[in-house]
A and B are shown apart, each in its own frame.
Chain A
Amino acid sequence: MSRPKRMTRAVIVGHKSILKETIDALHDVNLFHIEDFVEDESGFKISKPFKNAEEVSKKLVKIRSIANYLGIESKKPVVQKTDSVLRELDTKLNELDRAISAKTEAISQLEIELKDMEAQKREIMPYLSINLDFEYYRGYESLRVFAGTVKSSLEESQISSITRAYELYYDPQSKAVVLFVAKNDADKVYEVLQGLGFKELRVPERGGVPSELLRFIEQKEAEVTRKIESLKGEIESLKAKYADFILASDEVLSIESQKAELPLRIATSENAFIIDGWTPSEDYDKVVSVVNSATNGKAYITSLEIRHEDEDSVPVEYNNSKIVAPMQEVMDLYSRPKYTEIDPSSAILITMPLIYGLILGDIGYAMILGGLALTIKKLVKSDSVQSLMNILIYCEISAIFFGILYGEFLGFPLASSHTEHGVVPGLIPGWETINLFGGIGGEVFTFPIHRSHMIMTMIGLSMIVGLFHLNLGYLLGFSNVARNHGMKHAILEKGSWMIIQLGVILAAAGYLGIGGSALMYVGAIVLVLGIVMLAIGEGIAGVVELPSLMGNVLSYARIIAVGLSSIYIAGTVNDIAFGMIWADHSQIGFAAIAAICVFMLGHGLNSVLSIIAPGLHALRLQYVEFFGKFYQGGGRKFNPFGYIRKYTEE
């Protein structure tokens, strides 16, 4: 069980003439967490950023907007020299900026054209079925032209009963109407049309036959689309050409900008500066020597005593081995430990995969998911994905172990079992289930453990696992309280819970007649003693919390509950798939193929569920039940001033 890294508070003081050297040295060593200076009455002020800050951030904004536009993603780094990147930066950046803005401008111009043509097409569409040259629609003195659509269908007789001086074009399908009628009768005809729900449409300004116009526009449209595609292709090739440059210069500029803006975070007077911050105690000497050599010993560095009331604000850096490190992700998801607390990463390294394995316990799913995790780990290089996959691999190893204990493979039992219906063979011939001893409620405890045949026994076992887990939590809490507030508090606050459990167990044993009935009274006395201690230690709030202990222990019943749900899903998939094959006696028929599909899909689904359900429940048992016993969290992240270079080197 580790505690966070010991920290030393260090203060660096010097003349402003060596500020730049000091900042460069601190940035390179990447071990110093700088406390932001808040202006107060001391007379010190924050300083101005270095002269190049504005220019650097301008370029940085430009390069990031280009990277964003091109969709540049981090990839396998090609390491470049910092000074060569800086030398080429201006010319390359301008070149890139010009090329991209010319191309995007052209694209947006073409897209406007495209939209315009779309509008023209929409205008022509209704006239397509009538296909009359648009020139004929206008320029009459004694004729009125109605062009539009009607809602209900139009009979020619409706017009001819009013006037004989008309010419009607009507498409019954699209209900488009073009009607030429003498001006004298126009009003009457208009009334009839209105009765049919007539809606007038605009006649396009240009002349020409609609079908030909449409063909012409479509041709042009295709041409413009082709142009846009080729421009996009050119941008894509720009991306390939400049990706390395963009990534490297983003990094170089980020570093420059961090350094240039540091004066905004430190205290300065007319001629001097003070940098206040934290460094891991083990690295203090290194920081001192680096700063001294960079400034020829002109900077003054000293370490300060950490006051007790400041302990909560100390930045926290984990102090774990490489094996435990992935669990830090799980910790950060909840909350980073405080500086004064035990870091439970190494405890959950054991308990979380253990509970996951107890829940899943299936060799088949463990191998599928383990393989998946290994593949993703190979393919995706991001740090957080790597840690998550490592956690998943730990969990699957535990699941394989319990899979052997349970004798399960994709829901099939591996060993044969004796039931009321005779011997049911398992997947591995010759592996027979051995009866070991009686369990709870008339069940028999066997090896391998057939979970679905001994539910009550497994619930009991799950709760025993829970008791151990909870008491580990109380022990860690005991250690935390003992360290920070003394042994007396630890015994009253955390020890009392363990004494209460002891009392309950003794009383229960006495009640069941194990070790004599006198034990029951002893247990009761121990229980009362524990409750009194708790009341002294945590006050009335602690006593009110008592029933939650039972809730916490019962909560571990989910270990078997979630496990069973996974078994039943797998078993159902197997039953359906094999039922289909047996129904059809031909060797490879439709049913067999369908059965394979059902088998693959069903187990695929259950594999995904096998990450989510056991994973979340294992996590919850850590966060709620386990952490609730001792953990506070809320520590600040140790965030050293510096940069982890990927694409450049000095």
Chain B
Amino acid sequence: MVEGLFLDAAGMKALGAAIAISVTGYASAIAEKDIGTATIGAMAENEGLFGKGLILTVIPETIVIFGLVVALLINQ
């Protein structure tokens, strides 16, 4: 078994996957937070903006999907 810094290879893989998911999760959350707040503000002015707001809010979600794909690839 190859030794990593603190963990063996399997452990480092799991850690890598965890970092991939959690950091991208945070990134999506921060981006969506800002857009979501602005969207709700806009919707208070005009209800009809719901559809557009929803789309803009969920766009950064792709970041965490990338993280998921990377995490799965690491564990392949």
Contacts and interface: CB of A to CB of B under 8 A. Distances in A.
Interface of A: 332-335, 441, 455-456, 459, 551, 554-555, 557-558, 561, 616, 619-620, 623-624
B18 to A, nearest CB: 16
B26 interface: no
Contact of A557 (B54, B55, B68, B76): B68
Given A333-B51, A334-B51, A334-B52, A616 B68 contact: no
Contacts of B72: 455-456, 459
Interface string B51-76: 11011001101100110110010001
A455 B73 CA distance: 10
Contacts of B59: 624
Contacts of B68: 557, 561
A452 to B, nearest CB: 12
Interface of B: 50-52, 54-55, 58-59, 61-62, 65-66, 68-69, 72, 76
Contact of A554 (B50, B58, B65): B65
B62 A555 contact: yes
A441 B72 CA distance: 11
Secondary structure class of chain A's binding surface, majority of residues: helix
Nearest to B72: A455
Given A456-B72, A459-B69, A551 B52 contact: no
B55 to A, nearest CB: 5
Given A555-B62, A616-B58, A620-B54, 14 more contacts: A333-B51, A334-B55, A335-B52, A456-B72, A456-B76, A459-B69, A554-B62, A554-B69, A557-B65, A557-B68, A558-B61, A616-B54, A620-B55, A620-B58
B71 to A, nearest CB: 10
Interchain residue pairs A-B with the least CB separation, the first 3: A333-B51, A334-B51, A623-B55
18 contacts: A333-B51, A333-B54, A334-B51, A334-B52, A334-B55, A456-B72, A456-B76, A551-B66, A554-B62, A557-B68, A558-B61, A561-B68, A616-B58, A620-B54, A620-B58, A620-B61, A623-B51, A623-B54
Contacts of A555: 62, 65
A334 B50 CA distance: 8
Contacts of B51: 332-335, 623
B34 to A, nearest CB: 18
A555 B55 CA distance: 14
A609 to B, nearest CB: 16
B58 A557 contact: no
A167 B61 CA distance: 77
A616 B55 CA distance: 10
Contacts of B62: 551, 554-555
Given A456-B76, A624-B58, A624-B59, A557 B52 contact: no
Nearest to B55: A623
Contacts of B58: 616, 620, 624
A88 B51 CA distance: 45
Contacts of A456: 72, 76
B50 A333 contact: yes
Given A456-B72, A456-B76, A558 B65 contact: yes
Nearest to A332: B51
A459 B59 CA distance: 20
A6 B7 CA distance: 69
B61 A557 contact: no
Contacts of A624: 55, 58-59
A623 B52 CA distance: 9
Contacts of B66: 551, 554
A335 B53 CA distance: 12
A555 B66 CA distance: 8
B9 to A, nearest CB: 18
Contacts of B61: 558, 620
A366 to B, nearest CB: 24
A348 to B, nearest CB: 13
Contacts of A557: 65, 68-69
